[in-house]
Amino acid sequence: MLVARRLGKRYGEKRVLRSIDLELPPGGFLVVTGPNGSGKTTLLRICAGLAQPTEGTIERSLERAQVGYLGHEPLVYRELTALENLELYGRLYRIAERRERIGMLLERFGLWDVRHERVASYSRGMTQRLALCRVLLHEPDLLVLDEPYSALDEPGAELLDAQLAELRGERTFLLATHEPARVEPFASGRLALAA
């Protein structure tokens, strides 16, 4: 599904990634670890299609609609409500039975009661849960998750665990984390980046 050879990325004079090889088959679960500044975020962004490498090649046999990306930013509009945010993405991703799917996700992640409130009023954990809803909304084949646990509260983390367990095997995962132990049960491959 995803094959990268000698991937490198440079921002101006600063080198962020150096000669990375990775292979992610369909159904795989690749865990990326490394200290801060090792380029995990950049690598995930390139894999999701948000950035272009400056060296090397990356082959993705995927369309944009099949990729779900969760970055450090939740990518939701703070002045809109949860419902409005998901409605927007629902329309853009052309999801069938949008209302039902949104409702189901909001309920599963415990946001149904606050769906009409602006995201600006949410706690950090709630915002991250909404971001997870956004990622899962269009049922992507490839999920690229950049430190998803870092902004989650404990109930949210348990919900994520449950989701990963449910989708493991059906979907392909590329996950960067500071706590590899948590996702160890799911991992099919590991990639450690050096600083």
Partner 1 sequence: MSYVRDVGALARKDLLLELRARDTLPAMLLFVASVFVVFHFALPGTPSRLETIGLLWVAILFTALLGLGRAFVPEREQRTFDGLVLAPCDRSAIWLAKSLATLAFLVAAEVVALPLYALFFHPVGAATVAAVVLADLGICGVGTFLGAMAVATRARDLLLPLLFLPLAMPIVVGAVGASVVGSPGRYLGFLALYDALFAVVCWASFEYVVAE
Partner 2 sequence: MSSPSNPAAATIPQVGRISRIPLPALAAASLVLVATALVFVFFVAPTDANQGFSQRIFYFHVSIAITAYACFAGAAWQAFRHLWKRDPGADLKSYVCVHQGVIFGTLVLLTGSIWAKISWGRWWLWSSDQLVLFLVLFLFYCAYFMLRFSVDPGPQRANLSAVYALFGVVLIPVSFAAIRLAKDIIHPVVFTLHGPNFGGWILVTYCIAQVALLVLAYTLYRLELSGKRLDGRLRELKEVLA
| Site for partner 1 contains 162 (CB under 8 A) | no
- Residue 15 interacting with partner 2 (CB under 8 A): yes
- Sole binder of partner 2 in the list 3, 5, 10, 180 (CB under 8 A): 10
Ramachandran class of 157: left when φ > 0, alpha when ψ lies in -120 to 50, beta otherwise? alpha
Sign of CA dihedral 68, 71, 77, 81: positive
**Type of residue numbered 40:** K
* Contact residue for partner 1 among 79, 96, 116, 154 (CB under 8 A): 79
Give the CA angle between residues 42, 150, 16 to the nearest 5°: 20
**Nearest approach, Cβ of 191 to partner 2 (angstroms)?**
21
Size of the site for partner 2 (CB under 8 A): 7
Q: Length of the chain, please? A: 195
What SS3 class is residue 103? helix
Looking at the Cβ atoms of 57 and 121, the one nearer to partner 2 is 57
Least separation in angstroms between CB 136 and partner 1: 14
Q: Examine residue 89 and tell whether it contacts partner 1 (CB under 8 A).
A: yes
What are the residues whose beta carbons fall under 8 Å from the beta carbon of 107, sequence distance 6 or more? none
What's the sign of the alpha-carbon dihedral 26, 28, 29, 33? negative
50-79 residues in contact with partner 2 (CB under 8 A) are 52, 54
Binding site for partner 2 (CB under 8 A): 10-13, 15, 52, 54
| Contacting positions for partner 1 (CB under 8 A) | 48-52, 63-65, 67, 69, 71, 73, 75-80, 84, 87-89, 91-94, 118, 134
